[in-house]
Chains A and B, each alone.
Chain A
Amino acid sequence: MTRGDIESLATDFYDLLESFKHAPVYHLSFEIFLVLAVSWLVFFRKPRPIEKKLTEKEKQELIDEWQPEPLVPSVDPNHPALNVRVLDGIVGKTVEIDGRTSLNFATFNFLNFVGKQRIADKAIQAVQKYGVGSCGPRGFYGTIDIHLELEERLARFFNCEEGIIYSYGFSTIASIIPAYSKRNDILFVDEGVHYAIQKGVEASRSHVKWFRHNDIADLERLLAEQEILDKKNPKKARSIRRFLIIEGLYVNYGDICPLQRMVELKYKYKYRIFLDESVSFGTIGQTGRGVTEYYNIDRQKIDLISSTLEYAVGSIGGFAVGSSFVVDHQRLSAQGYCFSASLPPLLAAAAIEALNIMEEDNTTLFETIMDKSKRLHKKILSIKGYIVNGDEISPLKHLRLTNALNTIGRLEEIVQFAQTRDITITVARYLSDEHRLPEPSIRLILNVEMNDEELEFLCTVLQEALVKVTT
Chain B
Amino acid sequence: MPEKVNADQGLDKKMNKSLSSNSKVKHFNKKESLFHNYEDFEETPTSAAVITVLGYAILTALGWLRDFLRNIGFEEKKTANDPNPKDFVPLYQSYECFYTRNLYTRIRDVFNQPIASVAGAKVEVMERLSDDFNWTFKFSGKKLPSINLGSYNYLGFAENQGPCSEQAIKSIEKYGVTTSSTRHELGNQQYMKELECLMAEYLSMEDCIAFGMGFATNALNIPILVGKGDLILSDRLNHTSLILGARLSGAAVHTFDHNDIQDLESKLRDAIIHGQPRTCRPWKKILIIVEGVYSMEGSLCKLSEIIELKKKYKAYLYVDEAHSIGAIGPRGRGVVDYWKVNANDIDIHMGTFTKSFGSAGGYLAGKKTLIDHIRVYSHSACYSSSMSAPIVQQIISALNIIMGRDGTNDGQKRIQQLACNVRYFRRQLVDMGFIVYGNDNSPVVPVMIFMPAKIAAVNREMLKRGCAVVTVGFPATALTESRVRFCISAGHTKEMLDHALKSMDEVGQLVSLRYSKQNRHRRWHELNHADYDKEYLS
Which residues of A are interface residues toward B (Cβ below 8 A)? Answer: 54, 59, 62-63, 66-69, 71-75, 77, 79-82, 84-92, 95, 104, 106-109, 114-116, 119-120, 123-124, 127-136, 138-145, 147-148, 167-171, 180, 194-196, 199, 202-203, 237-242, 267, 270, 272, 300, 303, 310-311, 314-316, 323-326, 328-329, 331-332, 335-336, 338-341, 343-344, 346-347, 350, 424, 426, 429-431
Q: Would you call B58 an interface residue if the criterion is a C-beta within 8 Å of the partner chain's C-beta atoms? A: no
* Complex-state Cα separation, A127 to B388, whole angstroms: 13
Known: A119-B177, A325-B83. A344 touches B382 (CB 8 A): no
* Complex-state Cα separation, A290 to B139, whole angstroms: 32
- CB of A131 within 8 A of CB of B120, answer yes
Chain B residues whose CB sits within 8 angstroms of the CB of A195 once the complex forms: 379, 382-383
- CB of A114 within 8 A of CB of B179, answer yes
Chain A residues whose CB sits within 8 angstroms of the CB of B225 once the complex forms: 71-72
Q: How far is the CB of B219 from chain A (nearest CB, A)?
A: 8
* Complex-state Cα separation, A350 to B180, whole angstroms: 13
- CB of B215 within 8 A of CB of A346, answer no
- CB of B316 within 8 A of CB of A71, answer yes
- Scan B3-46; emit 1 where CB is below 8 A from any A CB, else 0: 00000000000000000000000000000000000000000000
- Scan B208-237; emit 1 where CB is below 8 A from any A CB, else 0: 000011111001100001000000000000
- CB of B119 within 8 A of CB of A132, answer no
- CB of A89 within 8 A of CB of B174, answer yes
- CB of A135 within 8 A of CB of B114, answer no
Q: Which of B365-392 contact A (CB under 8 A)?
A: 369-370, 372-377, 379-385, 387-388, 390-391
- CB of A145 within 8 A of CB of B213, answer no
Most chain A C-beta atoms within 10 Å of own C-beta, residue among B125, B220, B283? B220
Q: Would you call B360 an interface residue if the criterion is a C-beta within 8 Å of the partner chain's C-beta atoms? A: yes
Known: A135-B119, A242-B89, A335-B244. A127 touches B172 (CB 8 A): yes
Q: How far is the CB of A291 from chain B (nearest CB, A)?
A: 19
Closest to B285 in A: A68
Known: A86-B189, A89-B174, A119-B177. A170 touches B220 (CB 8 A): yes
- CB of A69 within 8 A of CB of B83, answer no
Q: Which of A77, A114, A272 contacts B84 (CB 8 A)?
A: A272
Chain B residues whose CB sits within 8 angstroms of the CB of A237 once the complex forms: 89
Q: How far is the CB of A249 from chain B (nearest CB, A)?
A: 16
Q: Which of B414-462 contact A (CB under 8 A)?
A: none
Chain B residues whose CB sits within 8 angstroms of the CB of A329 once the complex forms: 91-92
- CB of A339 within 8 A of CB of B239, answer yes
- CB of A429 within 8 A of CB of B113, answer no
Known: A114-B179, A139-B112. A106 touches B185 (CB 8 A): yes
Known: A69-B285, A123-B390, A141-B150. A131 touches B119 (CB 8 A): yes
Q: How far is the CB of B119 from chain A (nearest CB, A)?
A: 4
- CB of A91 within 8 A of CB of B394, answer no
Chain A residues whose CB sits within 8 angstroms of the CB of B311 once the complex forms: none
* Complex-state Cα separation, A133 to B120, whole angstroms: 10
* Complex-state Cα separation, A315 to B180, whole angstroms: 8
* Extra pairs beyond A77-B372, A82-B375 (18, CB < 8 Å): A63-B272, A63-B313, A66-B272, A81-B382, A84-B188, A90-B176, A119-B177, A124-B173, A127-B168, A133-B360, A136-B119, A180-B91, A195-B379, A203-B247, A325-B80, A339-B239, A340-B241, A431-B383
